[in-house]
A and B are shown apart, each in its own frame.
Chain A
Amino acid sequence: MLFFLEVILSGLLAGVMYSLVAIGFVLILKASGVFNFAQGAMVLFAALTFVCLLEKAIPFWAAFFITLAVMIVLAVAIERIVLRPLVAKPPIILFMATIGLAFFLEGLGQGIWGADVHGLNIGIPDDPFEWLMNKGILISQFDLVAAFIAAILVTVLVLFFHKTATGTALMAVSDDPEAAQSVGISLRWIWVITWSISGFVALVAGIMWGTRLGVQYSLSLIVLKALPVLILGGFESIAGAIIAGLIIGASEKLADVYIGPYVGGGLENFFPYFLAMVFLCFRPYGLFGREAIERV
């Protein structure tokens, strides 16, 4: 029983890390209807900038805020150079533009900071949490801190969306950009805001994942882990991204431990995609996505 609990807990905590990446997608999709292929590249770019600033002996919080400023500048530049000329084009065009953006960011990041693997240590030990260890459950302290940070991040985002005029304006734009403009909402401003927030989420995700895996090119591939989370949660729901992240994390661990031995192991790597496929067949809009209702 203790072992079962340990598997579930560590799965849930891993899931939080997936959610962290998935939220970045959801934000941009909600506000501009674009599936941002460059989200992974943004995570890499943010983590790379942050870790290299740290290596130049800049203190943690200074490096954090400088990187945040860089991500905001990036958001302004993306709005001005990529989004503005493509306004009112079909979503597929914007999607392709973000593919280009992904390559550009990966190149830019590595061009400036080099392609080396950087270790990132933010001072949280990846050791078992003692209180739980004494009860017989092995859970990493780092995972717990990551979950805590994600919880704060999500709370702040939810409050922002539901309690501020800018947040509700963002939701209005995601519902109907034309109507949103007609009531006085500036589309350009909303885009800069969303890409900035998404850059901020990418920075947090980049720091957490970078600490886990080291800051390197493969960091941009964690988006692949976010895809099943998005499919499960529904592409437009922040709550969905969180809950789906938890489900994916827990189920892949459980499947690996309890079903893995019968099928030769390695289940953890593909189980999330299997789950996503099942969802695509039976509930394609995800757990929390809006079912498209059309009048005929």
Chain B
Amino acid sequence: MSMNVDRDHILVEVEDIHITFGGLKALNGICMNINKGEILATIGPNGAGKTTLINAINGVCHPNPGRIVFEGKDLTNMRPHHVASLGIARTFQNVALFKGMSVLDNITMGRHSKIKSGFFSQGLYWGLGQKMEIEHREAVEIVIEWLEIQNIRETPTGALPYGLQKKVELGRALAAEPKLLLLDEPMAGMSLEEKEDIARFILDAREEFGTTICLIEHDMGVVMDVSNRIVVLEFGEKIAEGTPEEIRNNQRVINAYLGTDGH
């Protein structure tokens, strides 16, 4: 396989990134790719740097040194709102919804980076503004229907139970029709049934919208089931990468999770 053929499949290139908080090396020379159309899981013990990796791609923190390239564009020093406009959406480990707004408004906000009808025409329902408005509404309705949350569309998100909040947050990210979806523990704290529900939506999102997905998850059963490829981090370094089968049999990963034997 030549390098050129390989590169066509790559959506994100993470090139030797380092991120330091004070004296703590959160990420220490991570190199990895996210391929187009795959579901890539990032796993690792607490404090391994998984969320920092997502934050770096999303523009919340900036690697130094190191480089992140998305579709040939250098994301390294972009701010989050700019990254969002390129087609990268995300969810947060602790649900980050607009709690005072309804489910419908939250999901509509997801399309903010797509609304480009100028400062003064925004929301004035005339001409171009109206056409845009209809297009956005349709996209939002598709997401609501797809996630089966029609019955709570007018409910303020702050009043929803945790599992549904997580679902709405996923909906907000999907409403942007992202090329890359970053999910930070989308199933944390959920019941088995809710987890299966979300896992189904993650698989469907890739099938129906062709979205590339990078997710962080602790539940190994789910990770093995949904992901095409897995990257394992420990103490800010990548210790393994491969298919679920390869990771399951990788000695370093087993050690990192179960502790080294011989003690």
Contact = CB atoms under 8 A, between A and B. Distances in A.
Interface of A: 163-169, 171-172, 175-176, 178-187, 290, 293, 295
A183 B99 contact: no
15 contacts: A164-B122, A168-B123, A172-B109, A175-B97, A176-B98, A176-B99, A179-B169, A181-B79, A182-B89, A182-B173, A183-B110, A183-B112, A183-B113, A184-B81, A185-B112
A32 to B, nearest CB: 15
Identify the interface centre among B84, B97, B113, B119: most chain A CB within 10 Å of its CB. Answer: B84
Nearest to B125: A163
A230 to B, nearest CB: 18
Contacts of B99: 175-176
A163 to B, nearest CB: 4
A87 to B, nearest CB: 11
A189 to B, nearest CB: 8
B169 to A, nearest CB: 8
A184 B112 contact: yes
Interface in B86-108: 89-90, 92, 96-101, 105
A218 to B, nearest CB: 37
Given A175-B100, A182-B90, A163 B84 contact: no
A83 to B, nearest CB: 14
B119 A166 contact: yes
B58 interface: yes
B122 A166 contact: yes
Q: How many of chain B's residues touch chain A, expressed as a range?
A: 35 or more
B123 A165 contact: yes
A164 B115 CA distance: 11
A139 B100 CA distance: 40
B65 interface: no
Contacts of A295: 162
Nearest to B113: A184
A175 B92 CA distance: 15
Given A164-B123, A175-B100, A181 B92 contact: no
Given A165-B123, A171-B101, A175-B101, A183 B109 contact: yes
Contact of A293 (B60, B113, B114, B158): B158
A187 B176 CA distance: 19
A172 B109 CA distance: 8
Interface in B123-154: 123-124
A176 B80 contact: no
Given A164-B122, A168-B123, A176-B96, 20 more contacts: A164-B119, A164-B124, A165-B112, A165-B117, A166-B119, A168-B105, A168-B109, A169-B109, A169-B112, A172-B109, A176-B97, A178-B92, A179-B169, A179-B172, A181-B81, A183-B111, A183-B172, A184-B85, A184-B176, A293-B158
A181 B84 contact: yes
B81 A172 contact: no
A182 B173 CA distance: 9
Contact of B96 (A166, A178, A187): A178
- Top 9 closest pairs, chain A to chain B, by CB: A184-B113, A184-B84, A179-B96, A181-B80, A165-B122, A175-B98, A186-B81, A164-B123, A163-B123
A139 B241 CA distance: 79
Nearest to A186: B81
A72 B172 CA distance: 33
B74 to A, nearest CB: 19
Contacts of A175: 97-101
Contacts of A178: 60, 92, 96
Nearest to B117: A165
A185 B97 contact: no
Contacts of B176: 183-184
Nearest to A183: B112
B97 A179 contact: yes
Contacts of A171: 98, 100-101
Identify the interface centre among B59, B81, B110: most chain A CB within 10 Å of its CB. Answer: B81
A250 B124 CA distance: 37
B111 to A, nearest CB: 8
B25 to A, nearest CB: 21
